[in-house]
Amino acid sequence: MVSANTLCKKLLNVKHAVVEDAYFYDDNYGVNHIRIQVRTDKWHEDYCPYCHKKCSRYDQHSSQPRTWRGLDWGAVLVEIEARTHRVACPIHGVVTAYTPWAYPGSGFTRDFDLTVGWLAVYLPRSVVSEYMRVDWETVGRCINRTLNDIEPERSKRLNNLVNIGIDETSYKKGHKYITVIVNHDTNTVVWAAQGHGKGVLTQFYKQLTPEQLSSIKIVTGDGAKWITECVNEFTPDCERCVDPFHVVQWAMEALDEVRRDVWREAYAEFTQLSKEHPRKKGRPKEDDPTSAMLNAARAKADAIKNSTYALGKAPEHLTENQQTRITMIAENNNRLYRAYRMKEMLRLILKLKDVDEADKALNRWLWWASHSRIKAFKELYLKIKRHREHILNAIRFGMSNARIEATNNKIKLIIRKAYGFRNIQNMLDMVYLVCSDLRIPLPNRKARSA
């Protein structure tokens, strides 16, 4: 029969430790616990917990033993009890001596921290908190220790960067943003920080070595001025690409501005007609010309107001009702229809693969927009003219910010599952953990290939 010492060590999955005693007890809530009293073996009892080097002892064992939570054995709550002491490390100073079963500063075993981290990737934090019988905030600390264990040097993500994407995404109401940088080649987040703007992005570039800066060849992003300024300052030899998705988004905003102006005019016309031809009391007659005229004016205004989705979709994706709405706009409102055609032409230009053909087509579009007599598109003309070379670079190299937009959706999902984050560092740890190729090892499991 297996001895109790061996049984406890195997179930705890702990090496370099000696089991001295174990006993069961019930707490005030009737929950059954097993407390296992252990000590570090003689060969490892004076190790530094960070560099794992033998150090001189700073003081003797503490008078009161410490306890650590372990993974439950079925429904039984497991605790490890041991006396600790401090060692004087020449590198890390005076620290609590190495405990083989736990990370430095943790009140849980390594297996417990890793399991909490693994569950937090797939489940809401409230579920993890209830299942593992820990506090909500404790889950965040377990995630931090898990990340630091499986990736102790996060700066390695900054090596061999060639094609990167830069974007900001909101994480809380009130214009709270984080800046995210994605490696296009590995589709992983290489850097993230609170805030946005030139000051935040400068922090990223300043931590790169000259070799790391010289390896960056392409930077994608939206048309933000602060991105372009940082690229020109730190990596002047790389190519700056403005994402086609954002260019189409600019056109959509201009088109929607035109639609709102046209709707206001149509609604003002209906209001004026209502004042000039007030309705009489009682139910109007079917052949009443005044009612028919007012109804037609109101229907025209409503049709323009409700055309947002039809105008935003590509012609090949329109439903029958949406196609009818576009046809109505073409017949009744030339200005709005021209704006729609300019948006569609720009969208098709950005799909071209030949950069020379795209250059000629973009020149024709710029001439059309500048002579359109539509204020919103004349402003869009100036904006696209400023970013013309960066837009053509995106076509030339076939680059877009699709990966970083997908990453932003992952971040939104992380925030939603956690019902928001009070601690920004906990959120950044989750971003690094989820938006990467890291795999959290579960205890006593066969390692899966990436």
- The pLDDT tens digits for 186-209 are 889 999 999 888 999 999 999 999
Do 333 and 262 meet the contact criterion of CB atoms below 8 Å apart? yes
Between helix 375-386 and helix 355-370 the angle, nearest 10°, is 140
pLDDT at position 1 over 80: no
List the single range of 154-158, 256-260, 277-281 with lowest mean pLDDT: 277-281
pLDDT at position 366 over 60: yes
pLDDT at position 381, please? 94
Mean pLDDT for the stretch of residues 264-273? 81
Most confident of 277-286, 290-299, 317-326: 317-326
pLDDT at position 449, please? 55
pLDDT at position 383 over 70: yes
Reported confidence tier of residue 45, pLDDT bands at 50, 70, 90: confident
Task: Give the containing element (helix H, strand E) for 34.
Answer: strand 32-40
pLDDT at position 176, please? 86
393/267: higher pLDDT: 393
280/366: higher pLDDT: 366
Radius of gyration of the chain (CA): 32
Q: Alpha-carbon distance 434 to 35, whole Å?
A: 34
pLDDT at position 308, please? 86
Do 165 and 242 meet the contact criterion of CB atoms below 8 Å apart? no
Sign of CA dihedral 154, 412, 441, 437: negative
pLDDT at position 119, please? 92
pLDDT digits (tens, 9 = 90+) for 67-114: 999 999 888 999 999 988 899 999 999 999 999 999 998 999 999 999
CA angle 144, 147, 150 (to 5 degrees): 150
pLDDT at position 286, please? 56
Decide: helix, strand or coil at residue 241: strand
CB atoms within 10 A of CB 321: 8
291/312: higher pLDDT: 312
Do 438 and 280 meet the contact criterion of CB atoms below 8 Å apart? no
Phi and psi dihedrals of 27, rounded to 5?
Answer: -85, -175
Determine how β-strand 218-221 pairs with β-strand 239-242. parallel
Contacts of residue 62, Cβ cutoff 8 Å, sequence gap at least 6: 83, 84, 85
pLDDT at position 450 over 60: no
Output the average pLDDT for the chain: 87
pLDDT at position 218, please? 93
pLDDT digits (tens, 9 = 90+) for 392-436: 999 998 888 888 888 889 899 888 888 878 888 888 999 999 888
C-alpha distance from residue 38 to each of 8, 59, 66, 68 (Å): 10, 19, 11, 11
Reported confidence tier of residue 288, pLDDT bands at 50, 70, 90: low
pTM of structure: 0.81
Q: Whose structure tokens read 């006593």?
A: 444
pLDDT at position 405, please? 86
Do 79 and 34 meet the contact criterion of CB atoms below 8 Å apart? yes
pLDDT at position 280, please? 62
pLDDT at position 321 over 90: no
Contacts of residue 327, Cβ cutoff 8 Å, sequence gap at least 6: none
Exposure b/e, 213-239, CB count within 10 A at least 16 = b: bebbebbbbbbbebbbebbeebbeebb
Helices and strands in the chain: count of H runs, count of E runs:
17, 12
Mean pLDDT for the stretch of residues 292-310? 80
Q: Alpha-carbon distance 415 to 411, whole Å?
A: 6
pLDDT at position 448, please? 62
pLDDT at position 285 over 60: no
Reported confidence tier of residue 295, pLDDT bands at 50, 70, 90: confident
pLDDT at position 152 over 90: no
> What percentage of the chain carries pLDDT values higher than 70?
96
Do 166 and 219 meet the contact criterion of CB atoms below 8 Å apart? yes
pLDDT at position 241, please? 92
pLDDT at position 166, please? 92
Q: Alpha-carbon distance 164 to 218, whole Å?
A: 6
Mean pLDDT for the stretch of residues 281-304? 70
256/276: higher pLDDT: 256
